[in-house]
Amino acid sequence: MSSFLSRAALAASSIAVLILSPMNPVLAAEVVDTHSYANSAEVRTTHLVIDLDVDFAKRRLKGVTELQFEKLKPDADRIVLDTRALDVRSAEASADGKAWAATKFVLGANDAVLGQSLTVSLPTGATRVRIVYSTKPEATGLQWLKPAQTAGKKQPFLFSQSEAIHARSWLPLQDSPAVRATYEASVKTPKGLRAVMSAEMSDQPDAAGRWTFKMPQPIPSYLIALAVGDIAFQSMGPRTGVYAEPATLKAAAYEFAETETTLAVCEKLFGPYRWGRYDLMVLPPSFPFGGMENPRLTFVTPTVITGDRLLVSLIAHELAHSWSGNLVTNATWEDFWLNEGFTEYLTYRLTEAQFGKARGDMERIIGVASLKTDFALAKSDEDRKLVRAFPAKDPDEVFSSIPYERGALFLVWLESKFGRETFDRFLRSWFDDHAFQSATTPQFIAYLNDKLLKAQPGKVSAAQIDAWISQPALPADTVYATSDALTKVDAGRDAWLAGTTTLDAIGAEKWSVQEWEHFFEGFPKTATAAQLKALDTRFKLTGSPNAIIASDWYKLAIDSSQAAALTPQIEAYLGHVGRMKLISPIYRALAATEAGKAQAKAIYKKVGSGYHPIAQQTVERILKGS
């Protein structure tokens, strides 16, 4: 049976068995990761020593990565690493880290998604290897920005994005979330530029211009992160602060000023924060995600800096990852919901605790709307499940809100069955008992059985759990939130469209961004030019400084076939924002008609080079209709 079939069998057939069996944790060494070449069941990386020089002129990182490892199979004579488009110069091995000798290495055949295996021979007694290499300009995990693409317009900028399997494009390593390692790093930057990483950081470079870092907790490869540019820092509390370009720093510090409070709320709900500091790094607009939960240093989009602190639920989400995702990590990308479903559930709980139940319920309803959209866009029932029967070839290709929102709904359902107090104790024990470990879905189901189902028999059945994990449809007893505020939004929108009330009477000038999202979500595609003009005149939606409202507005105009007059503004928006959640709906709406697709292709041809490689791949799939 192939590795794909082995993993599929584990995901699809073991759930009911585990429900009825004693807790039987899946050892990390037994995990089959179809997205990695690594022989981590034989030789497993435990520590990385990274030494890099940043060359903006050549758009490359050049240096050495040392991998220290343990042999799980004593007679193993090779270590297999993941690479993608790396120029590997040489490999050496050592028994003590002092005496090094050249050793044989072989690069395997190139795969468009997985890259190339790098097999390094291990002499007798070797405990570490080091690889001399450089990246290539097309590295998918790196984006090199020209000064014009930054806030300050004077200095270039570099940032990494390693999730899901992009770390291998700038580091030779065992690029699997099942493999956790500590790391230390040294990064030489051009004079006047600062390097930051997801680790403990030096405040100043050394005499040679090198910035040094140390990550003492073991993390998976996708959480190793680097940014280099004109970067300043401002403290926001004893354990929190924000890094950003100087032109952005003041606004960012204001927007995220409540981060320390959110951290304290997290600890009260989920247990101690175990990473030391929690800082934010605000990246240029081309960053393809809302946030990336790199430990100690969340990377965040500037599109949430609106001056009103209304979009800080994104920070709650990334901070919650310090428990679900970073502390306890999905062991494979088929288990992605263990990261994101848990984190979305924790985010709603944090929002409720910090801003009240009404705000939390609004966020949940908006999340369900996103889930319904992605259910409709899914190409098969496999894409609607929490765990696919067969892994996707490319984990990026099936990225959607489904593991986030369906996973969160599953946990809400469990909470409803066992009660919040009991379920909270279960969550905390899950984090405590699996801290700094990677876990699979069957391992979670076994733990759920041992800690909850056996303790309260009859409340939840194996068939019900299987329906949540392995079946495409949402169960009939899914627990949905309700919101009086969003009900009023629906009533106001519908009354105005019916001509029975005015825009002034619906109270939209006091709406939160969540209410605006809901307003647009329920808008029919039959809106007239007069209706859209009235909306725009009253609320100045075109060119809105709120990137989420602007995205929804432009999509509505396109869906309603009323976007011709807004073409310059839409093009300008798509040329400035690189966050996939905001640009993908616009490109998808344009691509719904042949004329719109031609327009989308023309816009992408102009602005696409400014997108991150991950965003480029996403937009190109939309334009190809795949």
d(C-alpha 427, C-alpha 441), whole Å = 15
Give the amino acid at 501. T
- Answer for the pair 159, 149: CB distance below 8 angstroms, yes or no: no
278 a catalytic residue: no
Query: What is the CB neighbour count within 10 angstroms for residue 35?
Result: 22
- Answer for the pair 280, 211: CB distance below 8 angstroms, yes or no: no
**What ranges make up the beta strands (E) of 430-588?**
437-439
> Is residue 235 within a helix (H) or strand (E), and if so which, with residue range?
strand 232-235
CA–CA distances in Å: residue 299 to residues 294, 296, 375, 397, 466: 7, 10, 28, 22, 35
Q: What is the 3-state secondary structure (H, E, C) of 136-188?
A: CCCCCCEEEECHHHCCCCCCCEEEECCCCCCHHHCCCECCCCCCEEEEEEEEE
d(C-alpha 471, C-alpha 229), whole Å = 46
Residue for token pair 């984990």: 395
In sequence order, the β-bridge partners of residue 260 are none
From 345, 348, 404, 447, active-site residue: 404
- Answer for the pair 172, 81: CB distance below 8 angstroms, yes or no: yes
Query: What is the CB neighbour count within 10 angstroms for residue 67?
Result: 25
> Is residue 201 within a helix (H) or strand (E), and if so which, with residue range?
strand 200-201
Query: What is the CB neighbour count within 10 angstroms for residue 587?
Result: 24
SS3 438: strand
Which residue in 612, 505, 502 sits closest to 160, CA to CA?
612
- Answer for the pair 198, 295: CB distance below 8 angstroms, yes or no: yes
Residue for token pair 């992160």: 225
Dihedrals phi, psi of 514, to nearest 5 degrees: -65, -40
Give the amino acid at 507. G
From 42, 66, 184, 318, active-site residue: 318
- Answer for the pair 217, 274: CB distance below 8 angstroms, yes or no: yes
In sequence order, the β-bridge partners of residue 78 are 121
397 a catalytic residue: no
In sequence order, the β-bridge partners of residue 235 are 241
d(C-alpha 158, C-alpha 144), whole Å = 5
Q: Cα angle vertex 355, ends 350, 359, to 5°?
A: 90
- Answer for the pair 356, 422: CB distance below 8 angstroms, yes or no: no
Q: At what angle do helices 313-320 and 259-270 cross, to 10 degrees?
A: 40
Which residue in 572, 570, 493 sits closest to 534, CA to CA?
493
Which residue in 229, 242, 235 sits closest to 195, CA to CA?
229
CA–CA distances in Å: residue 173 to residues 70, 299, 327, 587: 14, 22, 20, 35
d(C-alpha 96, C-alpha 100), whole Å = 8
Catalytic residues, which ones?
318, 404
